[in-house]
Homo-oligomer: A and B are copies of this chain.
Amino acid sequence: MLEDKNQERTSLEKLGEFGLIEHLTQNFELKQPSSLIGVGDDAAVMDYGGKKTIVSTDMLVEGVHFDLAYMPLKHLGYKSVMVNLSDIYAMNAMATQVTVSLAISNRFPLEALEEFYEGVALACKLYNVDLVGGDTTSSTRGMIVSVTAIGAADENEIVYRKGSKPNDLLVVTGDLGGAYLGLQVLEREKEVFKVNPNSQPDLEPYSYIVERQLKPEARKDIVELLKKLEVKPTSMIDISDGLSSEVIHLCKQSDIGCNVFEDKIPLDPTVISASEEFKMDSTMIALSGGEDYELLFTIDQSDFPKIKGNPNLTVIGHMTEKNEGVHLITRAETKIPITAQGWNSFNE
């Protein structure tokens, strides 16, 4: 019962989220023959004799990952599922089931939970996954959501973070930076609302980026598209923390380098105008913003004709030898090293 006040203390901020998981799980070995891939990719891969089972889990915490001042509970339910499905799709697998656990304080009435589950139900319906389990409990304060997504894939379909090689093309889906800027708009309106509770915000000009924040879509369609195009990426990851940290993950795990071209990064016009309004650099936002839940993958150059001209897919760079490092080639053709500036939840 006595706490040892003299024990060595290392603050969590120092390590950051990536360092932390790596540090904490470094001594865990996989011993079960059914465990193919453990910690370190978008999802774990297990083999029980049939299709491979893919499992991913994420936790969302009120006040850290979402703010109920502007996040409707139905959207939260929807987004909680999306965040997890995205990890399954990033393995080039199809999501089939989710479990949803919820800790909530008694300040929430039943109707609030029903709203949350409406969002879960909509996500399940649209993405064709089943809710198969979960846990509901009280919390002393605030709301915490933990979702586990389960998927299945044939072994030869699965795409890992490793597997890319020099000269592969780096491809991103959709466009980047919207979710982060949507959050800035919502934070700004929250401050206005605090000062004047009668103000009616006009979010119409920002509807695209606000929706990117409140109701992101996981890219199931891309997994289907790639299958149709007969393209199997050499590596893949979903963009949850920002382009820069995901590029670094791919490079690190594939043991290679990368050049990303600034002028190729796909940005929606709303992202460009909102960046200007907030006096932020749109490239920096795409690199570090996070929560876009697009897919980032690499393909062999010979597959380029198959994806060329597809409006969902943009080639933004190419992989290099490891000793060339990881760089952004700016519009001014200068070469800037890319560092992980992804959202670090312990620095908030």
Q: Give A contacts to B, CB under 8 Å.
A: 1, 7-15, 17, 20-21, 23-25, 27-32, 34-35, 37-39, 43-44, 46-53, 55-59, 61-65, 69-70, 96-97, 99, 101-104, 106, 108-111, 113-114, 117, 121, 124, 128-142, 144, 146, 148, 150, 152, 189-190, 193, 201, 345-346, 348
Contact = CB atoms under 8 A, between A and B. Distances in A.
A189 B1 contact: yes
Contacts of A97: 32, 34-35, 44, 46, 55
A106 B12 contact: yes
B35 A138 contact: no
B99 A30 contact: no
Contact of A130 (B11, B30, B201, B348): B30
B70 A1 contact: yes
A259 to B, nearest CB: 31
Contact of A144 (B14, B96, B103): B103
Given A44-B133, A51-B49, A111-B10, A99 B57 contact: yes
A246 B96 CA distance: 30
Given A34-B97, A70-B1, A106-B346, A20 B113 contact: yes
Nearest to A23: B110
5 contacts: A11-B109, A12-B138, A29-B130, A30-B130, A38-B132
A196 to B, nearest CB: 12
A101 B58 contact: yes
B136 A34 contact: no
Nearest to A68: B3
Given A34-B96, A64-B139, A144 B24 contact: no
Contacts of A108: 12
B133 A59 contact: no
Contacts of A44: 97, 99, 132-133
Nearest to A17: B136
Contacts of A121: 27-28
Contacts of A124: 28
A236 B245 CA distance: 46
Contacts of A15: 110
A309 B121 CA distance: 49
A17 B146 CA distance: 17
Given A55-B99, A138-B345, 15 more contacts: A1-B190, A1-B193, A11-B110, A13-B106, A17-B136, A27-B121, A32-B96, A43-B133, A50-B51, A55-B148, A57-B135, A61-B140, A135-B146, A137-B345, A139-B142
B1 A34 contact: no
A43 B23 CA distance: 31
Nearest to A49: B50
Nearest to A34: B96
Contacts of A1: 69-70, 189-190, 193, 201
Contact of A64 (B35, B69, B137, B148): B137
A46 B132 contact: yes
Contacts of A132: 30, 35, 37-39, 44, 46, 55
